[in-house]
């Protein structure tokens, strides 16, 4: 049976797939950002932002029960500001949990919510913790 349109992007943790080739996914994300992001031109800035989001994704996978819907997601036609707010909440938890790795002053800055949604869309189906 198919998935309802309004359910697209509402993934339970147990439904996440093992990623076989993260290198190609990260390369795709980097190339998309390099081609489209205005004001961010250096690879180390892209890398830091992607790392921040990877920490959010891993945190979500580690602290979400198997049958619960993950927070690191972007639902079909979901309001971009709600997605950004949910990810920012995750990032604040990451900064608290991993204060020895992530500075409290670090931010998720991608220039546009569209870029955030794109990265989430590329990663949301995969489990990074498996």
Given a cut of 50, whether residue 1 has pLDDT beyond it is: no
pTM: 0.87
* Residue 84 contacts residue 78 (beta carbons within 8 Å): no
Residue 43 predicted with pLDDT over 90: no
Span 9-24, mean pLDDT? Answer: 88
Closest CA to 66 of 122, 127, 124, 117: 127
pLDDT at residue 11, as a whole number: 87
H-helix segments, the chain: 22-36, 43-63, 80-97, 113-123
Q: Spell out the domain ranges in the chain.
A: 5-127
pLDDT computed for residue 5 by the predictor: 47
Residue 8 has a pLDDT of 56
Give the Cα separation of 14 and 28 in Å (integer).
25
Residue 97 to residue 85: CA distance in whole angstroms: 18
Rounded CA separation 61/69 (Å): 10
- Span of 9-13, 39-43, 44-48 with lowest mean pLDDT: 39-43
CA distance 50 to 75: 20
Secondary structure of residue 126 in the 3-state scheme: strand
């Amino acid at each position: 049976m198919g998935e309802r349109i309004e359910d697209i992007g509402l993934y339970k943790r147990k439904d996440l797939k093992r990623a076989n080739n993260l290198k190609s996914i990260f390369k795709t994300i980097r190339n998309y950002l390099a081609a489209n992001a205005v004001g961010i031109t250096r690879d180390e800035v892209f890398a830091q932002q992607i790392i921040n989001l990877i920490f959010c994704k891993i945190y979500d996978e580690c602290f979400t029960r198997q049958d619960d819907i993950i927070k690191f997601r972007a639902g079909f036609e979901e309001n971009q500001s709600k997605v950004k707010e949910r990810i920012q909440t995750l990032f604040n938890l990451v900064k608290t949990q991993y204060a020895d790795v992530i500075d409290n002053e670090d931010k998720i800055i991608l220039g546009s919510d569209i870029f955030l949604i794109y990265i989430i869309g590329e990663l949301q189906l995969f489990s990074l913790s498996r």
